[in-house]
Copies of this chain bind each other. A is one copy, B any other.
Amino acid sequence: MNDKPDVSEETKKKIQKVIDKLGYNPNGIARGLVLQKTHTIGLIIPDISNPFFPEVAKGVEDRARELNYSVIFCNTDNDKKREKEAIDLMKSKHVDGIILSLSISNKEEIYKLEEKNFDVVQIDRKIPDSNYQAVVIDNTLGAYNATSHLIELGHTDIAHITGDLEIQTSQDRLEGFKRAIGTFDLDYKEKWIVEGDFSKESGYKAMKNLLTLEDRPKAVFIANDLMAIGAYEAIFEMGLEIPQDISVVGYDDIEIASIIKPGLTTMTQPKYKLGQAAADVLISKIDNKRNINDEDIILNPKLIIRDSTRGYEDE
């Protein structure tokens, strides 16, 4: 008997004794079958070896465990077929809900889930027009704040190295950059926006590019830290110094950012919290079907100021 009100404390103890003696483990499968509830959630993410996701997964698992759920996980490598397979797997395993990060091109799967009335929370990426609640980090705001930091230091000549513009994240960060430039009424120079692809090499090239302009920028916001590392090399190679000659802000706060010299000012993302929040939302949806609040949850990245930024006027 599972905590029913009409069982006395005494017999509970007696029963517990017998349980211990026989080493009885309840069979979760049989339970799941009759209760139509597995106390399991699915976690479908693109790639656990991408440094963004382990923390997220940890947040999900920790919170799920606290709430008495376990998690079964799948990598999809952004492959549409594998995404579908992962979802089918979750269906056949009868998980109680799914935390999902789908590639944008795979809307159908989300629609199918909606039809079946599956409990789903989207994480990190939200498929436009889907009705499922999403838990995301505000890339636009992050980029806005990163850029504002440079502006507040007195900079006016600010460049931006973007990520691969096919990817929504890059678009959002570009948008945030533009918005900050606009808000503060600064000069907007198209040639100071250079596209990279998130790789270190592309950061190097883009920076080289910027530094060979006759009117070169005095500050740069770079869409991720890896490109910023590449940019560092380009800057040093030209005999320039950070932050004396040029201020640099990155994005992601990867491990190297605090190790490299000078320490890289960057935006850190609340990855663990993202996972926690997603688990929270999903499980409260499962346990308590009325959706108290089905608005998207938007977490804010945080600026980490290190030594790669400095005011333009400072000495």
Residues in B whose Cβ lies below 8 Å from that of A94? 27-29
Residues in B whose Cβ lies below 8 Å from that of A33? 27, 29-30, 33
Binary flags per residue of A49-80, CB closer than 8 Å to B gives 1, else 0: 10101110110011001000011111100000
Residues in B whose Cβ lies below 8 Å from that of A74? 61, 65, 70
Q: Counting CB contacts under 8 A, is A128 at the interface?
A: no
CB distance from A44 to the nearest CB of B (A): 11
Residues in B whose Cβ lies below 8 Å from that of A73? 57, 61, 71-73
User: Is chain A's binding surface mostly helix, strand, loop or mixed?
Assistant: helix
Residues in B whose Cβ lies below 8 Å from that of A70? 72, 74, 89, 93
Residues in B whose Cβ lies below 8 Å from that of A54? 48-49, 51, 53-54
* CA A147 to CA B229, docked complex, whole Å: 30
Is there contact, CB below 8 Å, between B92 and A27? yes
A272-290 at interface with B (beta carbon < 8 Å): 272
Q: Counting CB contacts under 8 A, is A255 at the interface?
A: yes
A175-204 at interface with B (beta carbon < 8 Å): 200
Q: Counting CB contacts under 8 A, is A247 at the interface?
A: no
Q: Counting CB contacts under 8 A, is A125 at the interface?
A: no
Q: Counting CB contacts under 8 A, is A11 at the interface?
A: no
Copies in the assembly, this chain: 2
A148-164 at interface with B (beta carbon < 8 Å): none
CB distance from A204 to the nearest CB of B (A): 11
CB distance from A16 to the nearest CB of B (A): 15
Name which residue of chain B comes closest to A62, CB basis.
B75
Binary flags per residue of A251-280, CB closer than 8 Å to B gives 1, else 0: 000111001100000000000100000000
* CA A131 to CA B73, docked complex, whole Å: 29
* CA A114 to CA B272, docked complex, whole Å: 35
A72 contact from B62, B71, B88, B255, Cβ within 8 A: B71
CB distance from A307 to the nearest CB of B (A): 14
Q: List 20 A-B contacts (CB under 8 A).
A: A25-B88, A25-B91, A27-B33, A28-B93, A30-B33, A33-B33, A48-B54, A48-B58, A51-B51, A51-B255, A54-B54, A58-B75, A61-B73, A61-B74, A65-B74, A72-B73, A200-B259, A255-B255, A256-B259, A259-B260
Given contacts A27-B92, A54-B54, 8 further A-B contacts (CB under 8 A): A25-B88, A29-B29, A29-B33, A29-B38, A48-B54, A61-B73, A70-B74, A260-B260
Q: Which A residues form the contact surface with B (CB < 8 A)?
A: 25-30, 32-33, 38, 40, 47-49, 51, 53-55, 57-58, 61-62, 65, 70-75, 85, 88-89, 91-94, 200, 229, 254-256, 259-260, 272
Lowest 5 CB-CB distances: which A-B pairs, in order?
A28-B92, A72-B72, A49-B54, A54-B54, A29-B32
